Structure 1
Amino acid sequence: MTKNIKSILKTSLLALSGSFFMYSCEAEADDLGAQFFDQTAAQGTRQSYDITAYNISNADTIRTDASRISTANIGAFREGVFGTQKVHHVSQARLSSYNPDFGTNPVVDSVVLELRPLYPADSSKVTTDENYIFPDGNVPAKKVVTTYPINVYGRDEAQITLNVHEVDEFLGAASDPVYSNRQVTTSTLLGSKKISSKVSSIKVTKDSDNTDLFTRDARLRIPLDKTFFQNKIIAKKGQSELSDAASFIRYFKGIRISTVENDGFIMQFSPAETQIVVYYKRDVTANGTTTATPATFAISLGSGNAKFSQIEFDRSGTPSQAVSENLSDNVQSGDPLLYAQGMGGPSLGVRIPASTVAQLRELFKTKQINILSAKVRLFSDPTWSEAFEKPSGFVASPYDPNLRKMNLSEFLKDLSAFTPLNSQFKLVQGYDLTKTSAYYELTITQTLKDVIEKSETIGDIALSVGTYEINASTGNYVGPSATTRAYTPHRILLVGSDGSSRRSQLQIIYSSKKL
């Protein structure tokens, strides 16, 4: 299909001014290349080429240590294509202060593990009780309960049971690399609670003067064994176990939060804001009177602690079982279906055939073509259920199929080439993601230009479910290894090299000088 190049240039200029992604489902020219040709003596041609698309098994393993899980997951979800995926959380614990003084005759009342799940703050349901009586003093009050839907993947109407166990082995340093298949020994069951996919905050205000009587942030609270913490923490006052961090993390080595069920939902939470709160009373004497006075002590599971996600898979009897077990890529023939799953599940590889490169180089030689736009288009398989939220994007990495290794230390050059032109540029963009006609486009314009015009080599590219993390202060990408892959639970079935009209393709728009 041929278009006048002025139309393509117009699209490029719109993209440069901030409308880069406001085009229709038909891909338009990218900003790169527009400066390389004479508008009065060029034509634009759209051409599609077959590519080789294949599955990459990651052996259901991924790095999930503290440097990789700025967001973490807990839960379990099962569906018919990818089977069961379960994720548990393991973390060290640190005292809020060392050599703590719990006071005289400290006795634990209760202990809770607090998790802050992620939720959309603008989606809430508020329930107000204007006739509430606050039990401490029978004070007339107003009680406001605000309920939020937790960010979950799976069956949001389900419930899951979370168990908390004591860890029995030293977890190392926070900087140590840890993979998702690491196992740890546990012993004492510290607590258990069944949770739903909702979380609530509570605020109680006195009717007489509207002052706060009670507030509780939106947190999941799992009750823990108070006798255990009485003996493990409170009774150790003044002893070496509580004297410093190095001693404590070898004494109380940490906890494991695990999921009992094999199906339900996978919940996102903030590991940096996880803590254990010990509520206790201590004797305080004033004016000759001794009173049991409430106090609290926090044990942090957040910053500075070694922590990681344990991820389990059961693909028995599912279509993806063979993919996860196959450790040789079909780089020559490709695969008819592509199974892409986050949190260590399979990735997919794309290869531009040598014959396609040869054709384009010949066009460059004979017709002086300039690549305006080059995108790899990948369609969702129509059998993939619309009920499951599709991935918002993919991480693209250079891939060596011989070594079966992704290069996580480099961005594709297109990310560096386009981002300065448009800060909203996405290397992989999804379209119609709520429909069965969903598809993704990987931009490789600069990569292909250099292959054709500079005779550079083009290697395979691995696409993994997830996105690049962005520095909230600068708006820039943190780095090629800083991604959401370790905590993105999404998955999708895509069409590979199957010969259908929805097969994976390279779509190019190029210009050529008139003869």
Structure 2
Amino acid sequence: MKRAFTILSMVIFGGMLVYNCEPDPDSLGEQLFLDGAAQGDEIAYDVTAYNIDNNDSIRSDASKLGLATLGAFSESQFGMQRAAYYTQLRLPAYDPDFGASATVDSVVLVIKPTYASDSITTTTDENYVYPDGSVAAKKVFNRYPATKYGRTKINSGNLTFNVNEVTEFLNGYSDIAYSNKIYGTGQLLGSKTFDGYVSSVAITKDSDNSSIFTSEVGFRIPLLSSFFKTKIIDKKGQPELKDVATFIRYFRGLKISVTDPAGYLVQFSPSNVELVMYYKSIDTGATTSTQKKYAFSVGNGNAHIGNYVYDRAGAAVKNPAIGDKKLFAQGMGGNSIGVKFPVETITKLKKLYNEKKAAIISAKIRMYTDPSWNNKLKKPSLLTIIQRDKDVKDEKGNEKNIFTNDLLLLSATPNFAYIRAYDLDKNPSYYDFTVTQSLKEIVEAGANYERKYFKIDVGNFLQSSTGTTLAGPQFTSRPFSTDRIVFLGYDANMPITDPSKKYEIKLRVTYGTK
């Protein structure tokens, strides 16, 4: 299962569909419209919606961390967010022999942020001289803009990445870790300014066009050579390098962080991080030293932990005066949104059903983005909705996550989508969450609803390892989603004439009577 959570292709039952027109009735009730068998009417009803404070913490260990995040971002609604990343490293083979008289030339940490592959700038140096041996060569340098979330022009688009040694044991790959945990760090091993771009390099000899050096697209941070000479090379034959259990307690890992107070966030896959040590040594039977490359194991099998720090001072999300008039959703441990069907709404729907035989054809929770939050951030196209029951607990005593009945029972229905997003390029945008089956079971079948509610988050459901089903309602991209969004809730004191009144959250029910 753990491999599933690093899959960047996240598929939803029925697909995540984005439309710019009014939604059609669910397939569940389409037959009621055929041949004029029924008349459909849509009515908007009140719902109870509220913010859920997750204490800015979420599980962010290797099993949850499909992407790692670095950077800092600050804005008025959600405040400041800073993201750092911890990782272990291992030796590719234990009790290594580095040869005689080994010296370290350089050490490079390579991270590979997501980037726009269709936007490339190429620079070619036909007169390049490769320094090791002064070889006449050609150097081709490709440059791509990294995918960013936030304010990309602050500080000219630069972020300073620091790499520190971790001094506290990070536990194992399978151990649980939370995003607000700060682990001890020691010596600064390297620092480099990231200008928002990633690059690749290819160097070939002029004489025969053979390759001298190539590097995949990424961002390279030089690390302190003397540290690795002392920490690794000089420990040849000693217990610290004999086995994995001893090594990860001796060299406990690296922390990558930023020093900037604001800017943007970038993301990369933890499984693609590289740490390469270039050194020279004399092989057995040789008399001169030769260049060698030693690649540590940083990706799969190691502990990876996302660390998220927030400063909500002055942010709207923490302002008590806002109440639930505005609803805030944010990934990486930020707020969730809770939605319930109030007694008054269910009473009205049951009366329609009992007295007029009005069957529910379609039911949507419609949420409009806050028109006053008119920023240039890309709105999320993916949100999740799960069902919670205050009386149903998991083995740890927490409220249990379950898929909505609509997703469980209707996912194979043609044209079904549990969510549709509209007008994402406009202000306001809106989202419809399908709750037809859930509402029908309450109104028409008498299911208990008073302790049940829906929980809405940014992110997407993740696939299982087979790629044919979803991994489960608790497995989403929320632990590493950079998205955030503000919706209008409900304000009882807002005048009916206020232009924003029509954008309040509502349950929109289409029913049919013969």
Superposed pair shares fold, TM > 0.5: yes
Q: How does 1:475-490 map to 2 (within 5 A)?
A: 475-490=468-483
| 1:22–1:189 distance in 2 versus 1, CA, 3 Å | closer
1:26 to 17, 22, 34: 22
Q: Counterpart in 2 of 1:218?
A: 217
TM-superposed deviation, 1:199: 0.1
1:429 is aligned to 2:420: yes
With 471-480 and 377-386 compared, the bigger mean Cα shift is at 471-480
Residues 336, 497 of structure 1: 8 Å contact kept: yes
Q: 2:294 aligns with which of 294, 297, 301?
A: 297
**Residue 440 of structure 1 pairs with residue 436 of structure 2:** no
Unmatched 5+ stretches in structure 1: 1-17
2:159 is aligned with 1:166: no
Q: Aligned partners of 2:21 and 2:34: how far apart in 1?
A: 28
Q: 1:421 to 1:481 in 2, by over 3 A?
A: same
Q: Say if 1:408 and 1:481, in contact at 8 Å, map to a contact too.
A: no
1:11 counterpart residue number: none
Structure-2 residue corresponding to 1:506: 507
Aligned-pair distance for 1:457? 2.5
Query: Any idea what the Cα deviations from partners look like across 1:22-66, whole Å, max 9, x if unmatched?
Result: 754322201112346874431111111121211111111111111
What SS class does the counterpart of residue 315 from structure 2 fall into? coil
Q: CA deviation at 1:425?
A: 5.1
Query: What's 2:241 paired with?
Result: 242
1:414-425 aligned within 5 A: 414-422=406-414
> Does structure 1 retain, via aligned residues, the 8 Å contact 2:109–2:275?
yes
Post-superposition Cα deviations, 1:153-197, rounded to whole Å, max 9, x if no partner, equal 112232111111111121112111111111211111111111122
Q: Deviations over 1:405-463 (max 9, x none)?
A: 975642112112232225x8542332222221211111111111211221112321111
Match of 1:277 in 2: 276
1:175 alignment partner in structure 2:
174
Deviations 1:302-328 (CA, angstroms, capped at 9, x unpaired): 2111221111000112212236xx9xx
The 5-angstrom pairing of residues 292-331 of structure 1 reads: 292-322=289-319
Contact in 1 for aligned 2:68/2:270 (Cα 8 Å): yes
Q: Name the counterpart of 2:342.
A: 353
Pairing 1:463–2:456 present: yes
Q: Secondary structure at the match of 1:62?
A: coil
User: 1:340 maps to what in 2?
Assistant: 329
In the TM superposition, residue 474 of structure 1 has moved relative to its aligned partner by 2.5
- Structure 1 residue 101: Cα displacement: 1.0
Tell me the alpha carbon deviations over residues 87-131 of structure 1, each in whole angstroms, 9 at most, x when there is no partner.
Answer: 111122211111111111111111111111112323323333445
Q: Are the counterparts in 2 of residues 399 and 407 from structure 1 also a CA contact under 8 Å?
A: yes
What displacement does 1:21 show? 4.4
Does the 8 A contact of 2:167 with 2:186 survive in 1? yes
Does residue 1:59 correspond to 2:55, yes or no? Answer: yes
The alignment's TM-score, normalised by the length of structure 2, stands at: 0.88
Partner of 1:85: 81
CA distance in 2, matches of 1:107, 1:35: 77
User: Residues 396 and 23 of structure 1: is their aligned pair in 2 closer, same or farther, counting only changes over 3 Å?
Assistant: closer
Provide the rounded CA distance (Å) in 1 between the counterparts of 2:297 and 2:172.
Answer: 15
- The secondary structure found in structure 2 opposite 1:151 is coil
Shift of 1:204: 2.6
For 1:22 and 1:488, the matched residues in 2 are separated by 19
Q: Which whole-Å CA distance do the structure 1 matches of 2:133 and 2:277 have between them? A: 24
**Would the alpha carbon gap of residues 400 and 159 (structure 1) be closer, same or farther in structure 2, given more than 3 Å must change?**
farther
Matched letter for residue 432 of structure 1: D
Check the 8 A contact 2:99/2:284 in 1, yes or no. no
Q: What does the per-residue CA deviation read over 1:195-253, in whole Å, with 9 as the maximum and x for residues that have no partner?
A: 12210111233455443232111121111111111111111111111111111111111
CA apart distance, 1:397: 2.2
Q: For 2:304 and 2:241, locate their aligned partners in 1 and report how far apart those are by CA, in whole Å.
A: 20
For 1:301 and 1:426, the matched residues in 2 are separated by 39
Q: Would you say the 8 A contact 2:27–2:416 is kept in 1? A: no
SS in 2 for 1:95: coil
The reply on whether 1:496 has 2:489 as its aligned counterpart is: yes
TM-score (normalised: structure 1): 0.88
CA distance in 1, matches of 2:330, 2:137: 49
- For the Cα contact (< 8 Å) 1:36–1:370, is it kept in 2? no
Q: Is the partner of 2:438 in helix, strand or coil?
A: helix
Q: Residues 206 and 384 from structure 1, CA distance in 2 versus in 1: closer, same or farther, beyond 3 angstroms?
A: same
Whether the aligned pair in 2 keeps the contact of 1:285 and 1:291 (CA below 8 Å) is: no
Which deviates further from its counterpart, 266-275 or 294-303?
294-303
Where in structure 2 are there 5+ consecutive unaligned residues?
1-13, 495-500
Q: CA deviation at 1:145?
A: 2.0
In the alignment, is residue 380 of structure 1 matched against residue 369 of structure 2?
yes
Deviations 1:345-364 (A, max 9, x none): 11111111111111112222
The alpha-carbon distance between structure 1 residues 280 and 269, as it changes in their structure 2 partners (threshold 3 A), is: same
**Contact 1:467-1:483 at 8 Å conserved across structures:** yes
Residue 425 of structure 2 aligns with an amino acid whose one-letter code is: T
Asked if 1 retains the 8 angstrom alpha-carbon contact of 2:19 and 2:422, the reply is no
Q: 2:444 aligns with which of 445, 450, 453?
A: 453
Give the structure 2 partner of residue 6 of structure 1: none
1:14 corresponding residue in structure 2: none
Letter in 2 for 1:241: E
